[in-house]
Structure 1
Amino acid sequence: MRPLISVAMPAYNAEKFIRAAIESVLRQKFQHFELIVIDDHSEDNTYQIVRELTGDARVRLYKNTRRMGETDTKNKILKLARGKYIAALDADDLMLQGRLKDHCEFLEKHPEIGAVFGRGFVATENLERVIILIPPTIRQDGKVLRGSCRAKELPYDFNQGMATIKKEHILKAGRFEASLPIGEDSRLMRRLFKITPFYFLNKPCFIYRIQKKGVCHSRLRENFKRMHDVFTAKKRQMPKIQYFYVNKQWLRVRTDCYKLMRAIRWRLNFYSWVKKQRKSNERIVRLDLKTPQKKAARVTDPELFACGFMNPLEQQLIKRNETFLEAALVSRGERGFLIVADEKVRSEAVLAFLSQDYCYCSANSPILYLKSKDVYGKSFVDPLVLYDSASVGVKKRNVWGRFWNPILKKYCINTFFYRTYLTGDVCRIEKVLFINFNPTFQRLRSRSLNASELYSRLVRDNYAKLYLRYAGRPDIFKKISLRAGGFSVSVGPNGMLKLAEMLKH
């Protein structure tokens, strides 16, 4: 008899907690399930511990002959799964009693629902203290549809351990993305959220254990260490040649100016950190950078990055009819929205748009290019360093979705959180928003701009000059002024969210 539910458990060096995780599944009163455990070539006793539990016929144990990584292992489990539904559980988490029974009974009674999820507890490693409930604000049973108030925190505050999902929908959504360094499960949840309704059952279903040496924490620590190494490296330690993988192509950067390389490595640290082997047929953009004309000691890191790196790179882009604009770019489907404002206001606007289910493309320097009769935009390198006013005055500690950056000494949005969950693709520039923040305004005020006004502001305003003075392309901005709608917007403290909500339609 085929099982109704396949419980997926990838495991790597999980000897400390995997026995408790498996036993929490086997204790379920619901019996029509299989538990698929794949040991990803662990270096400890993970495989031996699971093998001791295979006396239960519901446990299916496999071992990778080489280290495949968590994403490929999850996709392998999907191929092996015989169940109609998939319930994921990490090897260090715990499944609470009733999860399989409650979720399966609900999905069988409501075939129009593709996924059901319950309440989760985020706890310390030894389970002595509950840190947070997830999702934190939804309290009542009910369907979660896109655009509803219930959907605002999903799939951002979401963990795969809370959900039981129809296998056919996971396959339709494209499985897990192996190209992502972290967050592949939440990226899949986002795609699932677009193709099927979710239903929330307000019942505890799992415990998420935060380990001091867990994957997410270790990767964040590794990224911080890289940033710290970049800022503290001495001149003789800084490499003269560095490769970055950006926008599906390789950048080979060479410079003798160590301060310039430091500025570049800080801005592009995420792109050098992604581990990817270069294929022989992949294109390489070679940038041999000279020391800026001004003495490096007198120039700030942002100025070095702008004149020492962005200018030469733009010369390469111009050959392909592309250019930069100092603005933010968010998208909704294929519709792109350029946000032109000073840095702090731009950051506040991006956060407001992201909270309304827009996709992040760039907070600082999107690439613009002509295609047919329209102007399109796509993301480019920036470290997603956004000001977060909600954190002002808060104790310096990491909270959900943001972290305290010890290098910049301010709160920033978690780079992985938005890079992997919300990164948009190519979009057509539909609207250009010139946003002015005024704390005295009680309501949103907007004025449409005609084509000449839009072009004038794009070319002449201070925040558009940064890259325009480095051989920007006026023809692209003329095309934007003709094809996109321009608006001058004045907002107060609550105006950003209203603006993002208004532009949805």
Structure 2
Amino acid sequence: MKYKVSVVMPVYNSEKYLRPSVESILNQTFQDFEFIIINDGSTDSSGTILKEYSKSDQRIKLIEQENKGIVSALNFGFEMSDSEYVIRMDSDDISMPYRIEHQLKFMDSHPGVGASSSVFEVIDEFGELVVTDKGELFSHCSSEMLAWSSLFTTVLCHPGSIIRKDVFSEIGGYRKEFQYIEDHDLWLRISSISKLAITSEPLIKYRHHGNNLSTIYGKDSKNKNLHAACLYDFLKKNDLNSYSFEDCMWLWHIYYHKRGSNLVEENPHIVNSLARKIILLYKWFVENHNDKIKDIKEDVVKIIFGLMKSSSRCSYYEKAKLLSIFLRFKLSHAF
């Protein structure tokens, strides 16, 4: 390998924020890296700006392609990298000057970690600080808890991440069918072969504005089922064939509504089935991680308790069954 680390950054119509983003990488305290930038068919002045930087800094490897989307751009960037690690960067965010140096130190000292990110600050379109430690909640989680949570949600900050190239290649990279949640799908598959980690020092400023992919995706109702589809695909590949796509939709929903759900309340016939499904998923997870994890069991207890709060329309018999399921699980020694 020619480099210790490569930085991969896809670009599409980012002229407004591009210069501070590029310069935050070029001005790192660790300087020996290649900077792979994929201009994914930009129609604004992004291409001109990138050519200017590539002429003045030999570390930049500029790739021009027609617009194919972020998954294609990222996979091509990883393929072109010649390094042990790959750091992700987005064209509207800003990396702290010591980001690469600190992330390399962490990964070198934690050989069992396949991918990690830091907590991050959130800035607005003008660069003003909005949130100081986004992602701090997950930074206190064990690698097992991160793996459990990745079944349902995106646990690592994608543009703030660093990934071992061999781990990325082993799982087959990003998948086109999960574009817009390609990071969620990636972390879920990495968690099945390696550890995930989050460091508590903010190393990136994530810029929130109206044109973020996550903002656009969140407004698109056609993509609402992607997270459930990701879970369903993962469970099928692990021979958990008793879970239907509808089950995965409900499991994803109750994970996000641990304090109770009006939607669950309107469907009382599913409550006990969901409680059993989440417990079975927990048991499979514990068996496959060769450990009994207390914090994960407590998370499942919260989910079942949320179901109990949503069971007002259930019959007394169904409520009694749910209470029995809850107590048996809570009082069991399956830690």
- Answer yes or no: same fold by TM over 0.5: yes
Residue 136 of structure 1 corresponds to which residue in structure 2? 136
Q: Take 2:34 and 2:258, find their aligned partners in 1: how far apart are those partners? A: 47
Q: Take 2:253 and 2:197, find their aligned partners in 1: how far apart are those partners? A: 34
Q: Is the 8 A contact 1:134 1:157 kept in 2?
A: no
Q: Take 2:108 and 2:117, find their aligned partners in 1: how far apart are those partners? A: 14
Alpha carbons of structure 1 residues 391 and 27: separation in structure 2 relative to 1, 3 Å = farther
Q: Is the 8 A contact 1:10 1:70 kept in 2?
A: yes
Q: Is the 8 A contact 2:4 2:85 kept in 1?
A: yes
- Matching of residues 370-409 of structure 1 within 5 Å: 388=257, 390=259
Residue 171 of structure 1 corresponds to which residue in structure 2? 169
Residue 75 of structure 1 corresponds to which residue in structure 2? 75
Query: What is the identity, as a one-letter code, of the residue corresponding to 1:334?
Result: D
Query: What is the identity, as a one-letter code, of the residue corresponding to 1:191?
Result: R
Query: What is the identity, as a one-letter code, of the residue corresponding to 1:105?
Result: K
Q: Is the 8 A contact 1:331 1:361 kept in 2?
A: no
- Deviation of 1:389 after TM superposition, in Å, equals 6.5
- Deviation of 1:82 after TM superposition, in Å, equals 0.8
Q: Take 1:385 and 1:116, find their aligned partners in 2: how far apart are those partners? A: 26
Residue 63 of structure 2 corresponds to which residue in structure 1? 62
Aligned length: 276
Q: Take 2:308 and 2:181, find their aligned partners in 1: how far apart are those partners? A: 37
- Deviation of 1:198 after TM superposition, in Å, equals 2.6
Q: Take 1:500 and 1:215, find their aligned partners in 2: how far apart are those partners? A: 40
Higher normalized contact order (CA 8 Å, seq sep 6+, divided by chain length):
2
- Deviation of 1:200 after TM superposition, in Å, equals 3.3
- Deviation of 1:153 after TM superposition, in Å, equals 4.5
Alpha carbons of structure 1 residues 156 and 495: separation in structure 2 relative to 1, 3 Å = farther
- Deviation of 1:36 after TM superposition, in Å, equals 0.4
Tell whether 2:193 aligns with 1:362.
Answer: no
Secondary structure of the residue that 1:114 maps to in structure 2?
strand
- Which of 204, 224, 237 aligns to 1:206? It is 204
Residues 57-105 of structure 1 deviation map (CA, whole Å, 9 limit, x = unaligned):
11111100x2111101111001110111010011111111211111212
Q: Take 1:56 and 1:438, find their aligned partners in 2: how far apart are those partners? A: 60
- Deviation of 1:160 after TM superposition, in Å, equals 1.6
Q: Is the 8 A contact 1:124 1:131 kept in 2?
A: no
Residue 335 of structure 1 corresponds to which residue in structure 2? 240
Residues 321-369 of structure 1 deviation map (CA, whole Å, 9 limit, x = unaligned):
xxxxxxxxx959433567xxxxxxxxxxxxxxxxxxxxx8324xxxxxx
Residue 145 of structure 1 corresponds to which residue in structure 2? 143
Q: Take 1:331 and 1:272, find their aligned partners in 2: how far apart are those partners? A: 15
Query: What is the identity, as a one-letter code, of the residue corresponding to 1:362?
Result: E
Deviation above 6 Å: which 4+ runs of structure 1?
384-387, 500-505
Q: Quick one: percent identity of the two aligned structures?
A: 21
- Deviation of 1:162 after TM superposition, in Å, equals 2.5
Residues 409-466 of structure 1 deviation map (CA, whole Å, 9 limit, x = unaligned):
x9xxxxxxxxxxxxxxxxx9xxxxxx99766xxxxxxxxxxxxxxxxxxxxx99xxxx
Q: Is the 8 A contact 2:147 2:188 kept in 1?
A: no
Query: What is the identity, as a one-letter code, of the residue corresponding to 1:201?
Result: T
Residues 5-24 of structure 1 deviation map (CA, whole Å, 9 limit, x = unaligned):
11010011111111111100
Q: Take 1:501 and 1:124, find their aligned partners in 2: how far apart are those partners? A: 46
Query: What is the identity, as a one-letter code, of the residue corresponding to 2:63?
Result: Y
Secondary structure of the residue that 1:53 maps to in structure 2?
helix
| Unaligned segments of structure 2, at least 5 residues | 227-233, 267-283, 285-303
Q: Which has the higher strand share?
A: 1
Alpha carbons of structure 1 residues 10 and 331: separation in structure 2 relative to 1, 3 Å = closer
Residue 183 of structure 2 corresponds to which residue in structure 1? 185
Q: Is the 8 A contact 1:121 1:206 kept in 2?
A: yes
Alpha carbons of structure 1 residues 270 and 152: separation in structure 2 relative to 1, 3 Å = closer
Secondary structure of the residue that 2:200 maps to in structure 1?
strand
- Deviation of 1:201 after TM superposition, in Å, equals 2.7
- Deviation of 1:41 after TM superposition, in Å, equals 0.8
Q: Is the 8 A contact 1:134 1:158 kept in 2?
A: no
Q: Is the 8 A contact 1:84 1:166 kept in 2?
A: yes
- Deviation of 1:121 after TM superposition, in Å, equals 1.8
Query: What is the identity, as a one-letter code, of the residue corresponding to 1:335?
Result: L
| Unaligned segments of structure 1, at least 5 residues | 224-268, 274-329, 339-359, 364-378, 394-404, 411-427, 429-434, 440-460, 463-487
Q: Which of these two proteins has the greater Rg computed from alpha carbons?
A: 1
Query: What is the identity, as a one-letter code, of the residue corresponding to 2:245?
Result: C
Deviates more, 1:125-134 or 1:5-14: 125-134
Residue 466 of structure 1 corresponds to which residue in structure 2? none
- Deviation of 1:26 after TM superposition, in Å, equals 0.7
Q: Take 1:207 and 1:27, find their aligned partners in 2: how far apart are those partners? A: 15
Alpha carbons of structure 1 residues 121 and 502: separation in structure 2 relative to 1, 3 Å = farther
Q: Is the 8 A contact 1:88 1:163 kept in 2?
A: yes
Secondary structure of the residue that 2:2 maps to in structure 1?
coil
Residue 53 of structure 1 corresponds to which residue in structure 2? 53
Residue 15 of structure 1 corresponds to which residue in structure 2? 15
Tell whether 2:322 aligns with 1:490.
Answer: yes
Query: What is the identity, as a one-letter code, of the residue corresponding to 1:57?
Result: Q
Q: Normalising to structure 1: TM-score of the pair?
A: 0.47
Secondary structure of the residue that 1:335 maps to in structure 2?
coil
Query: What is the identity, as a one-letter code, of the residue corresponding to 2:321?
Result: V
Secondary structure of the residue that 1:6 maps to in structure 2?
strand
Residue 431 of structure 1 corresponds to which residue in structure 2? none
Q: Is the 8 A contact 1:12 1:46 kept in 2?
A: yes
